[in-house]
Chains A and B, each alone.
Chain A
């Protein structure tokens, strides 16, 4: 009896999780709250999947050139970016990188609290990309907005 209740509960939760329409994510992709920026050494367009691989540390070079990233740690922009391009919450993303650190595979991503700090770092480091609120973009000679393609 106990097992039947447990399995029925699990099946019920799976049903709602898998079959219930989840429109929120699609809607957020249509109205992004951020833009992807990068050093001018990075191509002006990047495929969506490559953005994901870069921010998971799985892609570290493109066309023979090193590529990396930094994080803008403002919660709403951070969460929106991760949800749209990496398919993780902030907690899930943090745990992913903690796993990399505590198994020796990589180091924690560099993070900045302010827009200015992000832009200054991207501007002075070739191959680096990040994300920012579109309202906070300041012109830097060596920073451009990257168009994400499917």
Chain B
């Protein structure tokens, strides 16, 4: 039924475009644009494994994207992009449909999209996989947590968008999206949730998500402000494994299944970017809240938050230097980890703070190379699967990456 709605909406957009345009658009292979990118990197860390088995160094760090698009009329556009990546245990080069949608731009202030649409959040979520469009190799994980890609990266559904210039107030761009996200039981979010629960995820279901994103460019040169609001419900089901100590100690057997319902999940992201000549300064904040229900009923309200500030300076056309400081708290009611410590756990599980320095070299219009170093305090976002022997409070991660795009 859901697929029928999706295909019907695409067909409706096509018919609308033909009817309103009396379209006689030329269509041939020469009108299809093809673009792509390929990245390969290397990571190594000290003290803890970060993203992958990085203590020994790893080349399991690449991305590939290829897209095809065309204008079917002056107002109707369609296209799709295939994407594959490998980041340690994440995705393992499985080719996925990154986006595929029809876009009917009725007016500059109102357009319609239907299909699998890239989902905006903050300054960078839409381009989180596009290494050539940013300075940093890894965006601040306090907001752009790689483990949460499944629910943040794209939506299967509908969208409205538009650009407005209310005289004297600058320019506004907005997007509204409604649809579902895909949560695979062997995907990035599954690994993260399994790390949190120390159990195996056997079923994941998300209910329709509503997202509103706005960008305001006020009449101050170089300034851009963003705000994103997201709400959705997620239903998960876990099974107890031999590693689920908390369950086994409670007498629950291996194989016992339990639900984990995240009701009324809301996420708010706000931030700004200021570009002046060769300098770019940006900062963002994200708040996350959800009510959690398990077998015994309502468990409680879970709240987390993160923020960062970054600075980049392009010294020449081919060299840019940048830095950011990022902070993430996994539980706003236990920022200093004292509650974790009272349960016999390290208090530094409560936060993850990251100071990063990056260099970017644009070798040519198509090639670039980046080098990056992270000084990480805390382990809130590290996965137990990567660190089964436990973690140290501090870690250093070094990454280098080359990207070709066309």
Complexed CA–CA distance, A91 and B278 (Å): 10
**Would you give the 0/1 interface string for B98-114, flagging 1 where the beta carbon is closer than 8 Å to chain A?**
01010101011000000
How distant is B37 from chain A, measured CB to nearest CB, in Å? 7
How distant is B204 from chain A, measured CB to nearest CB, in Å? 26
Which residues of A sit under 8 angstroms from B81, Cβ to Cβ?
A: 102, 104
Which residues of B sit under 8 angstroms from A14, Cβ to Cβ?
A: 281, 311
Given A58-B171, A98-B132, A104–B311 Cβ distance below 8 Å?
A: no
Which residues of A sit under 8 angstroms from B79, Cβ to Cβ?
A: 104
**Would you give the 0/1 interface string for A75-93, flagging 1 where the beta carbon is closer than 8 Å to chain B?**
0000000000001110110
Is A22 a contact of B67 with CB atoms below 8 Å? no
B165 at the interface (CB under 8 A from A): yes
Complexed CA–CA distance, A31 and B309 (Å): 37
Complexed CA–CA distance, A109 and B163 (Å): 19
B59 at the interface (CB under 8 A from A): no
Complexed CA–CA distance, A60 and B163 (Å): 11
Is A6 a contact of B276 with CB atoms below 8 Å? no
How distant is B60 from chain A, measured CB to nearest CB, in Å? 23
How distant is A121 from chain B, measured CB to nearest CB, in Å? 16
How distant is B107 from chain A, measured CB to nearest CB, in Å? 7
A106 at the interface (CB under 8 A from B): yes
In the complex, the chain A residue whose C-beta lies closest to that of B313 is: A13
In the complex, the chain A residue whose C-beta lies closest to that of B163 is: A58
**Would you give the 0/1 interface string for A102-123, flagging 1 where the beta carbon is closer than 8 Å to chain B?**
1111111000000000000000
A8 at the interface (CB under 8 A from B): no
Is A18 a contact of B311 with CB atoms below 8 Å? no
Residue from B71, B103, B311, B317 having most chain A Cβ neighbours under 10 A: B311
Interface residues of B in 262-317 (CB under 8 A from A): 274-279, 281, 309, 311, 313-314, 317
Is B313 a contact of A102 with CB atoms below 8 Å? no
Complexed CA–CA distance, A3 and B275 (Å): 24
Query: A66 touches which one: B74, B171, B281, B405 (CB < 8 A)?
Result: B74
A45 at the interface (CB under 8 A from B): no
Is A102 a contact of B37 with CB atoms below 8 Å? yes
Is B107 a contact of A61 with CB atoms below 8 Å? yes
Given A58-B173, A101-B69, A104-B79, A10–B105 Cβ distance below 8 Å?
A: no
Is A61 a contact of B108 with CB atoms below 8 Å? yes
A124 at the interface (CB under 8 A from B): no
Residue from A2, A99, A102 having most chain B Cβ neighbours under 10 A: A102
Complexed CA–CA distance, A36 and B405 (Å): 31
Given A98-B405, A99-B130, A105-B103, A92–B279 Cβ distance below 8 Å?
A: no
A63 at the interface (CB under 8 A from B): no
Complexed CA–CA distance, A18 and B133 (Å): 24
Is A101 a contact of B67 with CB atoms below 8 Å? yes
A147 at the interface (CB under 8 A from B): no
Complexed CA–CA distance, A108 and B365 (Å): 14
Interface residues of B in 108-144 (CB under 8 A from A): 108, 117-118, 126-127, 130, 132-133
Given A10-B311, A53-B165, A103–B108 Cβ distance below 8 Å?
A: no
A46 at the interface (CB under 8 A from B): no
Which residues of B sit under 8 angstroms from A99, Cβ to Cβ?
A: 126-127, 130, 133
A17 at the interface (CB under 8 A from B): yes
Is B99 a contact of A104 with CB atoms below 8 Å? yes
Residue from A7, A58, A60, A98 having most chain B Cβ neighbours under 10 A: A58
Given A13-B311, A99-B126, A60–B281 Cβ distance below 8 Å?
A: no
Complexed CA–CA distance, A63 and B207 (Å): 42
Which residues of A sit under 8 angstroms from B126, Cβ to Cβ?
A: 99, 103
Is B133 a contact of A102 with CB atoms below 8 Å? yes
B222 at the interface (CB under 8 A from A): yes
Interface residues of B in 69-87 (CB under 8 A from A): 69, 71, 74, 77, 79-81
In the complex, the chain A residue whose C-beta lies closest to that of B277 is: A22
Which residues of B sit under 8 angstroms from A103, Cβ to Cβ?
A: 99, 118, 126-127
Which residues of B sit under 8 angstroms from A102, Cβ to Cβ?
A: 35, 37, 65, 67, 81, 127, 130, 133
28 contacts between A and B (CB under 8 A): A3-B325, A3-B355, A6-B323, A14-B311, A17-B277, A18-B276, A22-B276, A22-B277, A53-B108, A53-B163, A53-B171, A58-B171, A59-B108, A60-B108, A87-B221, A89-B278, A92-B275, A98-B133, A99-B133, A101-B33, A101-B67, A103-B126, A104-B77, A104-B80, A104-B101, A104-B118, A107-B77, A108-B33
Please give the residue numbers on chain A whose beta carbons come within 8 Å of chain B beta carbons, in ascending order: 2-3, 6-7, 10, 13-14, 17-18, 22, 49, 53, 58-61, 66, 87-89, 91-92, 95, 98-99, 101-108
Identify 11 new A-B residue pairs, CB closer than 8 A, beyond the known A66-B74, A99-B127: A2-B375, A17-B277, A22-B277, A59-B163, A60-B105, A87-B222, A91-B362, A102-B65, A103-B99, A105-B103, A108-B35
For the complex of A and B, the 8 pairs showing the least CB-CB separation, nearest first, are A58-B163, A103-B118, A17-B279, A104-B79, A17-B276, A103-B126, A107-B33, A95-B133
